[in-house]
Protein backbone atom coordinates (compact mmCIF):
# COMPACT_ATOMS: atom_id res chain seq x y z
CA UNK A 1 0.00 0.00 0.00
CA UNK A 2 1.25 3.46 -0.88
CA UNK A 3 2.06 6.01 1.73
CA UNK A 4 -1.23 7.73 2.59
CA UNK A 5 0.44 11.14 2.69
CA UNK A 6 1.42 10.77 -0.97
CA UNK A 7 -2.20 10.58 -2.05
CA UNK A 8 -4.01 13.39 -3.79
CA UNK A 9 -7.24 14.94 -2.57
CA UNK A 10 -9.18 12.98 -5.18
CA UNK A 11 -7.47 9.71 -4.23
CA UNK A 12 -8.18 10.23 -0.53
CA UNK A 13 -11.79 11.17 -1.18
CA UNK A 14 -12.33 8.15 -3.42
CA UNK A 15 -10.34 5.79 -1.19
CA UNK A 16 -12.33 6.75 1.90
CA UNK A 17 -15.56 6.42 -0.04
CA UNK A 18 -14.49 3.03 -1.41
CA UNK A 19 -13.31 1.74 1.94
CA UNK A 20 -9.67 1.33 0.85
CA UNK A 21 -8.66 3.03 4.09
CA UNK A 22 -10.36 4.97 6.81
CA UNK A 23 -10.36 8.72 7.09
CA UNK A 24 -8.85 8.34 10.56
CA UNK A 25 -5.87 6.49 9.07
CA UNK A 26 -5.36 9.32 6.59
CA UNK A 27 -5.65 12.07 9.22
CA UNK A 28 -3.33 10.20 11.57
CA UNK A 29 -0.72 9.76 8.86
CA UNK A 30 -0.76 13.44 8.06
CA UNK A 31 -0.69 14.40 11.74
CA UNK A 32 2.47 12.34 12.12
CA UNK A 33 4.01 13.89 9.02
CA UNK A 34 3.20 17.41 10.23
CA UNK A 35 4.69 16.79 13.67
CA UNK A 36 7.76 15.28 12.01
CA UNK A 37 8.36 18.29 9.74
CA UNK A 38 8.61 21.17 12.18
CA UNK A 39 12.02 21.96 10.74
CA UNK A 40 10.20 23.36 7.69
CA UNK A 41 8.18 25.74 9.88
CA UNK A 42 5.22 25.33 7.49
CA UNK A 43 2.58 25.27 10.21
CA UNK A 44 2.17 27.98 12.85
CA UNK A 45 -0.44 25.97 14.74
CA UNK A 46 -1.03 22.23 14.47
CA UNK A 47 -4.60 21.06 14.98
CA UNK A 48 -4.45 17.25 14.93
CA UNK A 49 -7.65 16.94 16.95
CA UNK A 50 -9.59 18.97 14.40
CA UNK A 51 -8.34 16.69 11.63
CA UNK A 52 -9.18 13.55 13.62
CA UNK A 53 -12.65 14.75 14.56
CA UNK A 54 -13.48 15.48 10.93
CA UNK A 55 -12.01 12.10 9.96
CA UNK A 56 -14.14 10.25 12.50
CA UNK A 57 -17.17 12.10 11.21
CA UNK A 58 -16.22 11.08 7.68
CA UNK A 59 -15.91 7.45 8.71
CA UNK A 60 -19.31 7.63 10.42
CA UNK A 61 -20.78 9.32 7.35
CA UNK A 62 -19.42 6.54 5.17
CA UNK A 63 -21.06 3.95 7.39
CA UNK A 64 -24.38 5.79 7.18
CA UNK A 65 -24.03 6.56 3.47
CA UNK A 66 -23.94 10.32 3.96
CA UNK A 67 -20.49 11.16 2.65
CA UNK A 68 -19.84 14.76 1.67
CA UNK A 69 -17.69 16.11 -1.20
CA UNK A 70 -14.53 16.35 0.93
CA UNK A 71 -15.21 13.69 3.56
CA UNK A 72 -11.96 12.28 4.86
CA UNK A 73 -9.74 14.95 3.30
CA UNK A 74 -7.53 16.81 5.79
CA UNK A 75 -6.35 20.24 4.69
CA UNK A 76 -3.90 22.92 5.67
CA UNK A 77 -5.45 26.33 6.31
CA UNK A 78 -3.47 29.45 5.53
CA UNK A 79 -3.32 31.43 8.76
CA UNK A 80 -5.04 34.38 7.14
CA UNK A 81 -8.44 32.67 7.39
CA UNK A 82 -10.29 33.17 10.66
CA UNK A 83 -10.83 29.80 12.32
CA UNK A 84 -13.13 29.71 15.30
CA UNK A 85 -11.28 29.09 18.54
CA UNK A 86 -7.96 28.52 16.76
CA UNK A 87 -5.26 31.19 16.68
CA UNK A 88 -5.54 33.36 13.59
CA UNK A 89 -2.40 35.44 13.50
CA UNK A 90 -1.78 36.48 9.87
CA UNK A 91 1.77 35.50 10.89
CA UNK A 92 2.03 38.71 12.89
CA UNK A 93 2.98 39.58 16.42
CA UNK A 94 0.00 41.92 16.34
CA UNK A 95 -2.44 39.00 16.25
CA UNK A 96 -0.38 36.43 18.10
CA UNK A 97 -2.79 34.54 20.34
CA UNK A 98 -5.89 36.00 18.68
CA UNK A 99 -8.60 33.33 18.58
CA UNK A 100 -11.64 34.50 16.63
CA UNK A 101 -15.15 33.68 17.72
CA UNK A 102 -16.06 33.27 14.08
CA UNK A 103 -15.18 31.07 11.14
CA UNK A 104 -14.32 32.53 7.75
CA UNK A 105 -16.84 31.74 5.03
CA UNK A 106 -14.32 29.78 2.96
CA UNK A 107 -12.99 27.63 5.82
CA UNK A 108 -16.56 27.09 7.02
CA UNK A 109 -17.56 25.84 3.58
CA UNK A 110 -14.63 23.41 3.57
CA UNK A 111 -15.59 22.01 6.97
CA UNK A 112 -19.20 21.78 5.85
CA UNK A 113 -17.97 19.78 2.87
CA UNK A 114 -16.45 17.28 5.28
CA UNK A 115 -12.80 18.40 5.28
CA UNK A 116 -10.71 18.54 8.43
CA UNK A 117 -7.93 20.93 9.46
CA UNK A 118 -4.37 19.79 10.05
CA UNK A 119 -3.26 23.22 11.18
CA UNK A 120 -2.75 26.87 10.38
CA UNK A 121 -0.16 27.42 7.68
CA UNK A 122 2.61 29.96 7.89
CA UNK A 123 2.69 32.92 5.50
CA UNK A 124 4.26 36.28 4.95
CA UNK A 125 3.07 38.66 7.64
CA UNK A 126 -0.40 39.95 6.68
CA UNK A 127 0.24 38.20 3.34
CA UNK A 128 2.80 40.85 2.41
CA UNK A 129 5.83 39.30 0.79
CA UNK A 130 7.04 36.95 -1.88
CA UNK A 131 9.35 34.71 0.12
CA UNK A 132 7.63 33.95 3.41
CA UNK A 133 10.46 35.63 5.24
CA UNK A 134 8.29 38.36 6.74
CA UNK A 135 6.43 35.96 9.06
CA UNK A 136 6.70 36.86 12.74
CA UNK A 137 6.89 33.11 13.37
CA UNK A 138 10.00 32.71 11.22
CA UNK A 139 10.61 31.87 7.58
CA UNK A 140 9.14 28.77 6.04
CA UNK A 141 11.88 26.61 4.63
CA UNK A 142 11.20 24.96 1.30
CA UNK A 143 11.56 21.17 1.21
CA UNK A 144 13.53 21.79 -2.00
CA UNK A 145 17.20 22.65 -1.65
CA UNK A 146 19.52 24.54 -3.92
CA UNK A 147 22.23 22.72 -5.83
CA UNK A 148 24.69 23.92 -3.19
CA UNK A 149 22.41 22.71 -0.42
CA UNK A 150 21.19 26.23 0.36
CA UNK A 151 17.88 26.65 2.08
CA UNK A 152 15.32 28.06 -0.32
CA UNK A 153 12.19 30.11 -0.08
CA UNK A 154 8.93 28.27 -0.73
CA UNK A 155 7.61 31.56 -2.19
CA UNK A 156 5.08 33.84 -0.66
CA UNK A 157 2.83 34.84 0.70
CA UNK A 158 1.25 31.35 0.77
CA UNK A 159 4.62 29.77 1.48
CA UNK A 160 3.44 27.57 4.32
CA UNK A 161 0.81 26.16 1.97
CA UNK A 162 3.25 25.47 -0.86
CA UNK A 163 5.92 23.98 1.39
CA UNK A 164 3.41 21.75 3.17
CA UNK A 165 2.05 20.46 -0.14
CA UNK A 166 5.51 19.80 -1.56
CA UNK A 167 6.60 18.03 1.64
CA UNK A 168 3.38 15.97 1.77
CA UNK A 169 2.23 17.60 4.98
CA UNK A 170 -1.25 18.00 3.50
CA UNK A 171 -2.92 16.94 0.25
CA UNK A 172 -4.56 20.31 -0.27
CA UNK A 173 -4.46 23.76 1.24
CA UNK A 174 -6.04 27.16 1.06
CA UNK A 175 -4.17 30.16 -0.19
CA UNK A 176 -4.91 33.78 -0.83
CA UNK A 177 -3.64 35.72 -3.79
CA UNK A 178 -3.31 39.50 -3.90
CA UNK A 179 -0.56 39.87 -6.48
CA UNK A 180 0.59 36.29 -6.97
CA UNK A 181 0.58 34.83 -3.48
CA UNK A 182 -0.91 31.50 -4.61
CA UNK A 183 0.73 31.15 -8.02
CA UNK A 184 4.32 32.11 -7.25
CA UNK A 185 4.69 29.76 -4.22
CA UNK A 186 3.12 26.98 -6.26
CA UNK A 187 5.67 27.57 -9.02
CA UNK A 188 8.58 27.56 -6.54
CA UNK A 189 7.59 24.22 -5.00
CA UNK A 190 6.36 22.10 -7.89
CA UNK A 191 2.74 22.37 -6.81
CA UNK A 192 -0.40 23.78 -8.41
CA UNK A 193 -2.61 26.65 -7.30
CA UNK A 194 -5.51 28.64 -8.67
CA UNK A 195 -6.66 32.15 -7.96
CA UNK A 196 -10.26 32.32 -9.19
CA UNK A 197 -12.04 35.36 -10.61
CA UNK A 198 -12.21 38.17 -8.04
CA UNK A 199 -15.46 37.64 -6.15
CA UNK A 200 -15.73 33.87 -6.63
CA UNK A 201 -14.58 33.09 -3.09
CA UNK A 202 -15.82 35.14 -0.16
CA UNK A 203 -13.32 37.36 1.61
CA UNK A 204 -15.44 37.35 4.78
CA UNK A 205 -13.25 36.27 7.66
CA UNK A 206 -10.02 36.56 5.70
CA UNK A 207 -7.64 39.05 7.30
CA UNK A 208 -7.55 41.83 4.73
CA UNK A 209 -4.42 42.98 2.92
CA UNK A 210 -5.70 44.82 -0.19
CA UNK A 211 -9.44 44.41 -0.52
CA UNK A 212 -9.80 45.06 -4.24
CA UNK A 213 -7.16 42.44 -5.02
CA UNK A 214 -7.38 39.81 -2.26
CA UNK A 215 -8.90 36.56 -3.43
CA UNK A 216 -8.88 33.18 -1.69
CA UNK A 217 -8.03 30.19 -3.82
CA UNK A 218 -6.98 26.57 -3.80
CA UNK A 219 -3.57 24.92 -3.68
CA UNK A 220 -2.80 21.24 -4.23
CA UNK A 221 -0.49 19.04 -6.24
CA UNK A 222 -2.78 18.38 -9.19
CA UNK A 223 -5.12 20.36 -11.38
CA UNK A 224 -8.00 18.03 -10.55
CA UNK A 225 -7.48 18.58 -6.82
CA UNK A 226 -7.59 22.32 -7.40
CA UNK A 227 -10.92 21.93 -9.18
CA UNK A 228 -12.30 19.83 -6.32
CA UNK A 229 -11.17 22.23 -3.61
CA UNK A 230 -12.23 25.37 -5.45
CA UNK A 231 -15.73 23.97 -5.96
CA UNK A 232 -16.06 23.62 -2.20
CA UNK A 233 -14.60 27.05 -1.46
CA UNK A 234 -16.41 29.19 -4.02
CA UNK A 235 -19.92 30.60 -3.95
CA UNK A 236 -21.93 33.73 -3.28
CA UNK A 237 -21.73 35.19 0.21
CA UNK A 238 -24.13 37.98 1.16
CA UNK A 239 -21.66 39.03 3.85
CA UNK A 240 -19.12 40.14 1.23
CA UNK A 241 -20.38 43.03 -0.91
CA UNK A 242 -17.88 42.15 -3.65
CA UNK A 243 -18.95 38.50 -3.80
CA UNK A 244 -20.30 37.30 -7.16
CA UNK A 245 -23.90 36.13 -7.02
CA UNK A 246 -23.43 33.28 -9.47
CA UNK A 247 -23.80 29.51 -9.23
CA UNK A 248 -20.59 27.50 -8.78
CA UNK A 249 -19.87 25.39 -11.89
CA UNK A 250 -19.04 21.73 -11.56
CA UNK A 251 -15.42 22.28 -12.53
CA UNK A 252 -14.18 18.80 -11.70
CA UNK A 253 -16.79 17.07 -13.84
CA UNK A 254 -16.04 19.28 -16.83
CA UNK A 255 -12.24 18.85 -16.67
CA UNK A 256 -10.75 18.08 -20.08
CA UNK A 257 -7.24 18.43 -21.39
CA UNK A 258 -8.50 18.38 -24.98
CA UNK A 259 -8.03 21.93 -26.27
CA UNK A 260 -9.27 21.44 -29.83
CA UNK A 261 -10.89 24.64 -31.03
CA UNK A 262 -9.28 26.71 -28.26
CA UNK A 263 -6.90 29.57 -28.83
CA UNK A 264 -4.01 30.27 -26.52
CA UNK A 265 -2.52 33.75 -26.45
CA UNK A 266 1.17 34.41 -25.85
CA UNK A 267 1.61 37.99 -24.60
CA UNK A 268 4.74 39.34 -26.20
CA UNK A 269 5.33 41.87 -23.40
CA UNK A 270 5.96 38.98 -20.99
CA UNK A 271 9.20 38.18 -22.77
CA UNK A 272 11.41 41.09 -21.74
CA UNK A 273 15.05 41.36 -22.67
CA UNK A 274 17.06 39.34 -20.25
CA UNK A 275 14.32 36.86 -19.45
CA UNK A 276 15.91 33.89 -17.71
CA UNK A 277 16.72 31.41 -20.47
CA UNK A 278 15.46 28.42 -18.56
CA UNK A 279 12.14 30.21 -18.03
CA UNK A 280 11.99 31.13 -21.71
CA UNK A 281 12.71 27.53 -22.69
CA UNK A 282 10.02 26.20 -20.39
CA UNK A 283 7.55 28.69 -21.82
CA UNK A 284 8.36 27.40 -25.33
CA UNK A 285 7.74 23.87 -24.11
CA UNK A 286 4.40 24.98 -22.74
CA UNK A 287 3.47 26.41 -26.12
CA UNK A 288 4.32 23.08 -27.75
CA UNK A 289 2.30 21.13 -25.18
CA UNK A 290 -0.79 23.25 -25.70
CA UNK A 291 -0.47 22.89 -29.46
CA UNK A 292 -0.18 19.18 -28.91
CA UNK A 293 -3.42 19.33 -26.92
CA UNK A 294 -5.14 20.78 -29.96
CA UNK A 295 -4.97 24.49 -29.25
CA UNK A 296 -4.09 27.16 -31.73
CA UNK A 297 -1.41 29.50 -30.43
CA UNK A 298 -1.51 33.21 -31.24
CA UNK A 299 0.66 36.12 -30.23
CA UNK A 300 -1.20 38.86 -28.37
CA UNK A 301 -0.23 42.20 -26.92
CA UNK A 302 -0.79 43.52 -23.40
CA UNK A 303 0.83 46.93 -23.94
CA UNK A 304 0.42 48.28 -20.40
CA UNK A 305 2.09 45.31 -18.74
CA UNK A 306 5.20 47.33 -17.93
CA UNK A 307 3.15 49.60 -15.63
CA UNK A 308 1.49 46.75 -13.76
CA UNK A 309 4.04 46.35 -10.99
CA UNK A 310 4.16 50.08 -10.22
CA UNK A 311 0.38 50.23 -10.28
CA UNK A 312 0.11 47.27 -7.95
CA UNK A 313 2.62 48.72 -5.51
CA UNK A 314 0.52 51.87 -5.23
CA UNK A 315 -2.93 50.32 -4.98
CA UNK A 316 -2.10 47.41 -2.71
CA UNK A 317 -0.20 49.45 -0.09
CA UNK A 318 -2.84 52.22 -0.22
CA UNK A 319 -5.58 49.77 0.66
CA UNK A 320 -3.36 48.01 3.17
CA UNK A 321 -2.53 51.24 4.99
CA UNK A 322 -6.24 51.70 5.66
CA UNK A 323 -7.14 48.03 6.20
CA UNK A 324 -4.46 47.66 8.87
CA UNK A 325 -5.55 50.76 10.81
CA UNK A 326 -7.83 48.59 12.95
CA UNK A 327 -4.83 47.02 14.65
CA UNK A 328 -4.55 49.76 17.24
CA UNK A 329 -4.30 47.95 20.56
CA UNK A 330 -7.75 49.05 21.66
CA UNK A 331 -9.96 45.99 21.27
CA UNK A 332 -7.92 42.84 20.54
CA UNK A 333 -4.48 41.64 19.66
CA UNK A 334 -1.28 43.22 20.91
CA UNK A 335 -1.45 46.25 23.18
CA UNK A 336 1.72 48.05 24.13
CA UNK A 337 0.88 50.67 26.74
CA UNK A 338 4.03 52.33 28.03
CA UNK A 339 3.91 53.71 31.57
CA UNK A 340 1.96 56.93 31.68
CA UNK A 341 1.22 56.73 27.97
CA UNK A 342 -1.74 58.37 26.28
CA UNK A 343 -3.75 57.11 23.36
CA UNK A 344 -1.35 58.29 20.65
CA UNK A 345 1.60 56.76 22.49
CA UNK A 346 -0.26 53.48 22.77
CA UNK A 347 -0.99 53.46 19.02
CA UNK A 348 2.63 54.18 18.20
CA UNK A 349 4.09 51.64 20.62
CA UNK A 350 1.58 48.94 19.68
CA UNK A 351 2.02 49.32 15.96
CA UNK A 352 5.79 49.70 16.19
CA UNK A 353 5.99 46.42 18.08
CA UNK A 354 3.18 44.49 16.37
CA UNK A 355 4.10 45.03 12.72
CA UNK A 356 7.20 43.76 10.96
CA UNK A 357 9.38 45.79 8.58
CA UNK A 358 7.64 44.82 5.34
CA UNK A 359 4.21 45.61 6.78
CA UNK A 360 5.45 48.97 8.04
CA UNK A 361 7.05 49.68 4.68
CA UNK A 362 3.76 49.12 2.88
CA UNK A 363 1.73 51.10 5.42
CA UNK A 364 4.12 54.00 4.91
CA UNK A 365 3.97 53.76 1.12
CA UNK A 366 0.19 53.50 1.24
CA UNK A 367 -0.17 56.42 3.62
CA UNK A 368 2.09 58.48 1.39
CA UNK A 369 0.25 57.79 -1.86
CA UNK A 370 -3.10 58.66 -0.27
CA UNK A 371 -1.87 61.88 1.31
CA UNK A 372 -3.17 65.29 0.33
CA UNK A 373 -1.15 66.56 -2.60
CA UNK A 374 -0.02 63.09 -3.72
CA UNK A 375 -3.36 61.32 -4.08
CA UNK A 376 -4.01 62.33 -7.68
CA UNK A 377 -0.48 61.75 -8.84
CA UNK A 378 -0.36 58.26 -7.37
CA UNK A 379 -3.65 56.67 -6.41
CA UNK A 380 -5.89 58.26 -9.03
CA UNK A 381 -3.31 57.67 -11.72
CA UNK A 382 -2.83 54.04 -10.64
CA UNK A 383 -6.58 53.53 -10.87
CA UNK A 384 -6.54 54.75 -14.47
CA UNK A 385 -3.65 52.49 -15.38
CA UNK A 386 -5.44 49.58 -13.74
CA UNK A 387 -8.38 50.20 -16.06
CA UNK A 388 -6.03 50.23 -19.06
CA UNK A 389 -4.51 46.92 -17.95
CA UNK A 390 -7.99 45.43 -17.64
CA UNK A 391 -8.80 46.69 -21.14
CA UNK A 392 -5.57 45.12 -22.47
CA UNK A 393 -6.76 41.74 -21.27
CA UNK A 394 -10.27 42.19 -22.64
CA UNK A 395 -8.80 43.03 -26.05
CA UNK A 396 -6.46 40.05 -25.92
CA UNK A 397 -9.37 37.77 -25.06
CA UNK A 398 -11.04 38.80 -28.31
CA UNK A 399 -8.25 36.85 -29.99
CA UNK A 400 -7.80 33.95 -27.61
CA UNK A 401 -9.43 31.95 -24.82
CA UNK A 402 -6.57 31.76 -22.34
CA UNK A 403 -3.07 33.19 -21.99
CA UNK A 404 0.09 31.19 -21.31
CA UNK A 405 2.97 32.84 -19.45
CA UNK A 406 5.67 31.86 -16.99
CA UNK A 407 4.52 32.16 -13.37
CA UNK A 408 7.72 33.68 -11.98
CA UNK A 409 10.88 35.11 -13.53
CA UNK A 410 13.11 32.52 -11.86
CA UNK A 411 13.19 29.39 -9.76
CA UNK A 412 13.06 29.68 -5.97
CA UNK A 413 15.85 31.78 -4.52
CA UNK A 414 17.81 31.17 -1.33
CA UNK A 415 16.37 32.45 1.92
CA UNK A 416 17.88 35.85 2.64
CA UNK A 417 18.87 36.19 -1.00
CA UNK A 418 16.59 39.07 -1.91
CA UNK A 419 16.28 40.83 1.39
CA UNK A 420 18.73 43.63 0.76
CA UNK A 421 16.56 45.33 -1.84
CA UNK A 422 12.76 45.27 -1.48
CA UNK A 423 12.40 46.27 -5.14
CA UNK A 424 14.23 43.11 -6.26
CA UNK A 425 11.77 41.15 -4.17
CA UNK A 426 8.80 42.93 -5.75
CA UNK A 427 10.01 41.87 -9.23
CA UNK A 428 9.01 38.29 -8.38
CA UNK A 429 5.41 39.37 -8.92
CA UNK A 430 5.94 40.74 -12.42
CA UNK A 431 4.05 37.95 -14.23
CA UNK A 432 1.33 37.44 -11.65
CA UNK A 433 0.33 41.00 -10.76
CA UNK A 434 -1.40 41.95 -14.03
CA UNK A 435 -4.06 39.21 -13.69
CA UNK A 436 -4.63 40.30 -10.09
CA UNK A 437 -5.17 43.91 -11.13
CA UNK A 438 -7.69 42.72 -13.70
CA UNK A 439 -9.42 40.30 -11.28
CA UNK A 440 -8.92 37.39 -13.68
CA UNK A 441 -8.73 33.68 -12.88
CA UNK A 442 -5.15 32.45 -13.12
CA UNK A 443 -3.32 29.29 -12.22
CA UNK A 444 0.19 27.97 -11.90
CA UNK A 445 1.10 24.37 -12.72
CA UNK A 446 4.50 22.68 -12.53
CA UNK A 447 6.23 22.59 -15.90
CA UNK A 448 9.59 21.05 -15.18
CA UNK A 449 12.86 21.50 -13.36
CA UNK A 450 15.64 24.02 -13.74
CA UNK A 451 19.21 22.95 -14.43
CA UNK A 452 19.67 23.09 -10.65
CA UNK A 453 16.80 20.65 -10.21
CA UNK A 454 14.31 23.21 -8.95
CA UNK A 455 10.65 23.36 -9.97
CA UNK A 456 9.46 25.91 -12.51
CA UNK A 457 5.85 26.87 -13.09
CA UNK A 458 3.68 27.89 -16.01
CA UNK A 459 0.76 30.25 -15.65
CA UNK A 460 -2.60 30.15 -17.40
CA UNK A 461 -4.73 33.30 -17.26
CA UNK A 462 -8.38 33.15 -18.28
CA UNK A 463 -11.38 35.32 -19.02
CA UNK A 464 -13.47 36.54 -16.11
CA UNK A 465 -15.46 33.59 -14.69
CA UNK A 466 -13.75 31.10 -17.00
CA UNK A 467 -12.06 29.02 -14.32
CA UNK A 468 -12.97 26.01 -16.42
CA UNK A 469 -10.91 27.24 -19.34
CA UNK A 470 -7.98 27.89 -17.02
CA UNK A 471 -8.24 24.47 -15.35
CA UNK A 472 -8.54 22.67 -18.69
CA UNK A 473 -5.51 24.38 -20.22
CA UNK A 474 -3.59 23.72 -16.99
CA UNK A 475 -4.64 20.07 -17.18
CA UNK A 476 -3.34 19.84 -20.73
CA UNK A 477 0.01 21.19 -19.50
CA UNK A 478 0.04 18.87 -16.51
CA UNK A 479 -0.68 15.81 -18.66
CA UNK A 480 2.26 16.61 -20.93
CA UNK A 481 4.74 17.95 -18.39
CA UNK A 482 4.55 14.69 -16.45
CA UNK A 483 5.95 16.42 -13.40
CA UNK A 484 6.75 13.78 -10.80
CA UNK A 485 9.82 15.26 -9.14
CA UNK A 486 9.72 15.70 -5.42
CA UNK A 487 12.03 17.07 -2.80
CA UNK A 488 14.22 14.56 -1.09
CA UNK A 489 13.25 14.33 2.58
CA UNK A 490 15.90 15.99 4.75
CA UNK A 491 13.75 17.28 7.61
Partner 1 sequence: MTESTYRIQGATGEWEVVIGLEVHAQITTESKLFSGAATAFGAEPNTQVSLIDAAMPGMLPVPNMECIRQAVRTGMAIEAQINKWSRFDRKNYFYADLPQGYQISQLYHPLVGEGQIEVILDEKDPNSPRKTIGVERIHVEQDAGKLMHDQHPTMSYVDLNRSGVALMEIVSRPDMRSPAEAGAYLSKLRTILRYVGSCDGNMDQGSMRADVNVSVRRPGEELGTRTETKNVNSVRFVMQAIEHEANRQVDVLEAGGKIVQETRLFDPDSGSTRSMRSKENAHDYRYFPDPDLLPLELDDAFLEECRASLPELPGAKLKRYEEELGLSAYNAAVLTAEAETARWFEELLSEGAKAQKKSEADVAKASANWLMSELFGALNRIGRHLDDSPVTPAQGAELLALVADGTISGTIAKQVFEIMLETGDAAGKIVEEKGLKQTSDTGAIEAVISKILADNGDKVEQYKGGKEALFGFFVGQTMKAMQGKANPQIVNELLKKALA
Strand-pair category, 442-449 with 192-195: antiparallel
**70 binding partner 1? (CB under 8 A):** no
The verdict on whether 211 is a catalytic residue reads no
The conformation of residue 72, written as its DSSP 8-state character, comes to: T
Of the candidate residues 204, 270, 289, 355, the single one contacting partner 1 (CB under 8 A): 204
**364 binding partner 1? (CB under 8 A):** no
**200 binding partner 1? (CB under 8 A):** no
Contact predicate 319/437, CB 8 Å: no
What residues are paired with 216 via a beta bridge? 176
Cβ neighbours around 46 below 10 Å, total? 17
The conformation of residue 314, written as its DSSP 8-state character, comes to: H
Q: Considering the complex, what minimum distance in angstroms separates the CB of residue 332 from partner 1? A: 7
Of the candidate residues 32, 60, 147, 238, the single one contacting partner 1 (CB under 8 A): 238
**241 binding partner 1? (CB under 8 A):** yes
**236 binding partner 1? (CB under 8 A):** no
Name the nearest CA neighbour of 235 among 216, 207, 254: 216
Cα 213 to Cα 437: distance, rounded to the nearest angstrom: 7
Cα 189 to Cα 184: distance, rounded to the nearest angstrom: 9
Contact predicate 265/403, CB 8 Å: yes
**345 binding partner 1? (CB under 8 A):** no
The verdict on whether 78 is a catalytic residue reads yes
Please tell me whether residue 449 adopts helix, strand or coil conformation: strand
The verdict on whether 181 is a catalytic residue reads yes
What b/e readout covers 409-426, taking b as 16+ CB neighbours within 10 angstroms?
A: bbbbbebebbeeebeebb
Task: List the interface residues with partner 1, window 94-153 (CB under 8 A).
Answer: 95, 98, 100-102, 104
27 or 437: whose CB is closer to partner 1? 437
**75 binding partner 1? (CB under 8 A):** no
**460 binding partner 1? (CB under 8 A):** no
Catalytic option among 135, 142, 181, 321: 181
171 or 199: whose CB is closer to partner 1? 199
Of the candidate residues 22, 87, 367, 390, the single one contacting partner 1 (CB under 8 A): 367
Q: Cβ neighbours of residue 489 under 8 Å, at least 6 residues apart?
A: 143, 167
298 or 352: whose CB is closer to partner 1? 352
Residues that bind partner 1 (CB under 8 A): 81-82, 88, 90, 95, 98, 100-102, 104, 203-208, 210-212, 238-242, 318-319, 321-322, 324-326, 328, 330-332, 343-344, 347, 367, 370-372, 375, 379
Active site residues: 78, 157, 181
Amino acid sequence: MTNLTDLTVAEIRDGVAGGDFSAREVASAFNVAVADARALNAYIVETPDHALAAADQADADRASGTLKPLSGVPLGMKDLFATQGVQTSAASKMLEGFKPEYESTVSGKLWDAGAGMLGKLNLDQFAMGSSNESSYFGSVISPWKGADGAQLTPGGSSGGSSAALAARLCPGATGTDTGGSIRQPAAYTGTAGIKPTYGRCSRWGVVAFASSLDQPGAMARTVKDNAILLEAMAGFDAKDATSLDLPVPNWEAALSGDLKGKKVGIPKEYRPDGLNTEIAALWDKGVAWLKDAGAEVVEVSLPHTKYALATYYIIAPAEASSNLARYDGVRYGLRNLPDGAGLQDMYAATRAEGFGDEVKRRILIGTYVLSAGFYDAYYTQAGKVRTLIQQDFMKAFEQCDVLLTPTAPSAAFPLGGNNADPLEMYLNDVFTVPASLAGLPAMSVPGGLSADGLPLGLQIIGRPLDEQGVLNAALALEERAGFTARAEKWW
